[in-house]
Structure 1
Amino acid sequence: MSDEPDFEMEVVRNDELDSAGSDSNSETPSHRGEGEADDSDSIAADSDSREQGGEMGRSGRSSGEDDGNQEVFGLGRVPDDWKIRSLPKVAVIEMGSSPPSATYNEEGEGLPFYQGNADFGHMKPKVSTWCSDPVKTADRDDVLISIRAPVGDLNIADEHCCIGRGLAALRPNGVNGLYLYYGLAQRSRWLARLASGSTFKSVSSADLEKVDLPVPPLPEQRKIASVLYAVDQAIQKTEAIIEQAQRVSRGLIEKLTMWGIGHSEFKKIDVTPKFLDVEVPRKWEKVSYAEVTENITYGFTNPMPESDYGRWRITAKDIREGKIHYDEAGKTTEEAYRERLTGKSRPEVGNVLVTKDGTLGRVGVVDRQGICINQSVASIRPKKEKITSEYLALTIKSPLVKKLIKSHNPQTTIGHIKISELAEWEFPLPPVEEQNEIVRIVDSVREKIQNERNKKQRLQRLKKGLMQDLLTGEVRTADRAIEVLEEVQAHG
């Protein structure tokens, strides 16, 4: 798949557009009832009366006014042939409500139940819970919006479903549903400004009613939505490739750290916990972490001063996906780094960092000088003649060590690995030459994953730029340039 989605877009500026509202090929949306108006007529025929917009509205507009002011708060001026509508004018708002917990189930009884943005996927929600006696529901193709922290996240319902108090359903009324979705996505950060509450930020139905949306003629809505939907489909395909490659990577690590590469003879060894018998290649040896490392320590326990230009302070949140994310880590002062920290809090290049509190077992290899770690991270210094840094990191992901981590954290709210226990854990170890070959195989898949992540980031940047251009009318779509996708047409 190419880096860019498979569509062509020819654009012209506002003063070059010829009758953007006319589209002889547009069809009546399939979900409309008999006798309803088609295309932009359904919008133009609707009165432009609305409540005062507050922070999200047009300054100075009162109910029933249409003063020709085309300014939208946070977006600027929009084309003269576009309408500016409050959300109640383009969608029916249905606030969610949580049903009794006794009606929840995981057996598929009743309607899919979505409580908040934790149930959201890429454009469509992911069902894990059902409700046998729903209180509030959303219809297929309704836009679902998170109204409790984080406020403004969006999905589209792909079937009739139950919605809890963390969501509202927006039923498109006279606008294309996908255009409504993208228009709200462009406005979500302004909606978040209306959120109130010290513990859980949330917005009310009254807050939603203050949201203004620029609304072009319906044919143009469909073309804008088609461009953005095409990019979203490319993003979704890339995400699927990443997920598949991650599964392959996990499978390789589990297989190669237990059985190696192309061995025909195996032996049984007993390892912790409780002398578990496992089969490993005959030439491999059983070792503990204490035997193959020079030291295992953890970082500072007291708060360190923050600085914009000092040394990196690596905590558990900065270690994921097999890497240390220095760009997201905080920093501490040079003075504190040199005077307040001991050597154990300052891991050397080649040390393996392991998250030992909270989310356990994430790893990364230190590849630069001048970092420090806090107590949520363990630092392991390998004996190079015994084990490489990269292979040591892989062993933490092996089935044996995963089982050890789980066995030492039964049903705990916040996980923890004790350094003394980690030192005693045993695992099978191949010769250094085979370690390097195993790492090379795993790295080749990881490189594929990183390439796809980079592609996804490029597509996300493309989508962001297109949203800014198209949803504000800064760039207008020429009639001949954009094919309306069937998926978009199905949403009105």
Structure 2
Amino acid sequence: MSIKMKLKEIANVEMGQSPDSNYVFEYDDLAMPFLQGNADFGDISPSPQFYCSKPLKQAQTGDILISVRAPVGAVNLADQSYCIGRGLAAIRPKNSHISSKLFQNIISANKQSLIRVAQGSTFEAISKNDLLEMDIYVPESDLLQKIDNTLDVIEQTISQTRIIIEKLNNKKQGLLNDLLTRGVNLHGNLRPSYEDAPDLYQETELGFIPKEWDISLLDDVATRGSGHTPNKNVPSYWNGGVKWVSLADSSKLDQIHISETDKEISYLGIQNSSAVMHSKGTVVLSRDAGIGKSAILTDDMAVSQHFMAWKCSKRLNNYFLYYWLQQDKPVFENIAIGSTIKTIGLPFFKTYKIAVPSISEQEKVSAILLDTDKYLSDEVNKLNKLEKVKIGLLKDLLQN
């Protein structure tokens, strides 16, 4: 059984405080690793990017680091001493009979109550008192080791799955670079590199590409379009069954396809605005927040003005274009302008060029990348299921 109690009964809380920026550096082997918020949180412990020579508040090894500002409730384990800024707090158990890992899980299992408190404040944040008054379930001492052992099994599986996902991501990035610069031969095998077979390549404004490939304006091999937002003050323009891709769908992009949208508009809304319907198979790309994210429409949909949309001609495979845009994401991010919301101006896309292999080679390249993405997607789904199982198991173990 578990005992319900307040956090203050079994732990102390150290709220973070931002140090003087004059003492914060990108690297200093004599300074303490510095965490301003949860941006440097990892799966278990942080990976700090900055260091502080005069810390004001510190977390000790074994402390539970928790985000106290949006997003509230993210948790990591301090694997060393850290200087902590005002976006974090360090939770320090009073007794050593609970392992740091189990205590981290106990905090994670009860963080929803903190999130609810934060959402009720003007600025999404929680105070020291909110933490100390948090209700938690603590297992009786004779169950601690059993619960630790049970959680270890699933956490090892989760860790192994994350390693597989990291390897697949690295493989995908390598394939993107190789396949979109070297392509494949008639047998579907990757061409030798330029260094190994320079006679197979030509120098272009996009770099060295196979001699069989062309360089083309994207506008010459695809029909470019965009979208619009109907008047939000006219109810009949909204919720009319037309899927409408907007910035609210950013999390759904970069997963090859997009099939559902956060908002819908109506055909009346399309008729009374500059919005247009884009056909199934159209490739869309965000040119504002979430710059460079892309996807392929699985249905006829409309998009907001924050998106570009391309309907491919017979010379261009839409999956090839999707992967080309994925590879070029750093380019889009670098040319984005604007301080409040970065954006890519429309003139950029009028002169945007891509390499164009034969359609059969595009299909072969796309098939290889799609297979890799399928393996990656399967592992990500597996990880999501494992984490849900862990959360459910954790609640059962702690509350029953």
Distance 2:120 2:168 in 1: 41
Deviations 1:253-301 (CA, angstroms, capped at 9, x unpaired): 1221111122654343432xxxx6x2211111121112111x2111114
**1:309–1:252 distance in 2 versus 1, CA, 3 Å:** same
Distance 1:372 1:310, change over 3 A: same
Partner of residue 209, structure 1: 132
Conserved in 1, the CA contact under 8 Å of 2:337 and 2:344?
A: no
Q: Which has the higher helix share?
A: 2
Whole-Å separation in 1 of the counterparts to 2:339 and 2:118: 33
> SS of the residue aligned with 2:366?
helix
Query: Which of the numbers 70, 78, 90 marks the counterpart of 2:10?
Result: 90
Check the 8 A contact 1:345/1:374 in 2, yes or no: no
Matched, 1:113 2:34: yes
Which residue in the other structure is 2:280 paired with? 349
Q: Secondary structure at the match of 2:62?
A: coil
Match of 1:143 among 64, 68, 71: 64
Any conservation in 2 of the 1:136–1:163 contact (CA below 8 Å)? yes
Deviation at 1:134, TM superposition (A): 0.8
Answer whether contact 2:238 2:269 (CA < 8 A) is retained. no
Q: 2:61–2:78: 8 Å Cα contact kept in structure 1?
A: yes
Greater mean alpha carbon deviation, residues 179-188 or residues 229-238: 229-238
* Per-residue Cα deviation, 1:334-380 (whole angstroms, up to 9, x for no partner): 5434x3355x62110121111111232222112213x2100111111
Matching residue's letter, 1:340 = N
Structure with the greater relative contact order (CA < 8 A, sep ≥ 6): 1 or 2?
1
Q: Secondary structure at the match of 2:83?
A: strand
Letter in 2 for 1:300: H
Write the letter of the residue equivalent to 1:83.
I
* Cα offsets for 1:412-441 (capped at 9, x unmatched): 553323333313222321111110110011
Aligned partner of residue 428 in structure 1, secondary structure: strand
Q: Is the 8 A contact 1:352 1:392 kept in 2?
A: yes
SS at match of 2:92: strand
Instruction: Give the TM-score normalised by structure 2.
Output: 0.87
Contact 1:322-1:362 within 8 A present in 2 as well: no
CA displacement 1:200-246 (0-9 Å, x = unmatched): 22222222221222222223123223322432332232222222212
- For residues 166 and 342 of structure 2, the distance between their equivalents in structure 1, rounded to whole angstroms, comes to 26
Distance in 2 separating the partners of 1:198 and 1:89: 25
Aligned residue number for residue 305 of structure 2: 375
Deviation at 1:139, TM superposition (A): 1.0
Q: Measure, in 1, the Cα distance between the counterparts of 2:65 and 2:105.
A: 12
Report the CA distance shift for 1:267/1:134 in structure 2 as closer, same or farther (over 3 A): same
1:340 aligns with 2:272: yes
Q: How has the CA–CA distance of structure 1 residues 463 and 196 changed in structure 2, closer, same or farther, with 3 Å as cutoff? A: closer
Seen in structure 2, the aligned counterparts of structure 1 residues 358 and 432 have a Cα distance that, compared at 3 Å, is: same
Task: Give the TM-score of the pair, scaled to structure 1.
Answer: 0.72
The Cα shift of 1:101 comes to: 1.0
SS of residue matched to 1:220: helix
Matched, 1:188 2:111: yes
Aligned to 1:320: 253
Query: Between Structure 1 and Structure 2, how many residues are aligned?
Result: 381
Matches of 1:183 and 1:163, distance apart in 2: 22
Partners of 1:354 and 1:243 in 2: how far apart? 25
Residue pairs, 1:246-265, within 5 angstroms: 246-261=169-184, 262=191, 264=197, 265=199
Question: Would you say the 8 A contact 2:215–2:356 is kept in 1?
Answer: yes
Q: Which moved more, 1:322-331 or 1:282-291?
A: 322-331
Letter in 2 for 1:180: F
Question: Which secondary structure state, in structure 2, belongs to the residue aligned with residue 135 of structure 1?
Answer: coil
Identity %: 27
Taking only aligned residues, the RMSD between alpha carbons, in angstroms, comes to: 2.4
Please report how far the alpha carbon of residue 307 of structure 1 lies from its aligned counterpart in structure 2 after TM superposition.
5.7
Measure how far apart 1:460 and its partner are: 1.5
Select the residue among 209, 227, 241 that pairs with 1:299.
Answer: 227
Query: Using the alignment, how far apart are the partners of 1:162 and 1:321 within structure 2?
Result: 35
Gaps of 5+ in 2: 185-190
Q: Secondary structure at the match of 1:242?
A: helix
Residue identity opposite 1:382 in structure 2: C
For the 8 Å contact 1:296–1:419, the answer to whether it is kept is no
Q: Structure 1 406/102 Cα, relative in aligned 2: closer, same or farther at 3 Å? A: same
What SS is found at the alignment partner of 2:180? helix
Q: Shift of residue 445 of structure 1?
A: 0.8
Q: Which amino acid aligns with 2:19?
A: P
Tell me how far apart the structure 2 counterparts of residues 279 and 428 of structure 1 sit (CA, whole Å). 10
Change (3 A) 1:407 1:142: closer
Q: Where does the alignment leave 5 or more consecutive residues of structure 1 unmatched? A: 1-78, 474-492
Counterpart position of 2:44: 123
2:125 and 2:68 mapped to 1: Cα distance? 5
1:290 aligns with 2:219: yes
Q: Secondary structure at the match of 2:157?
A: helix
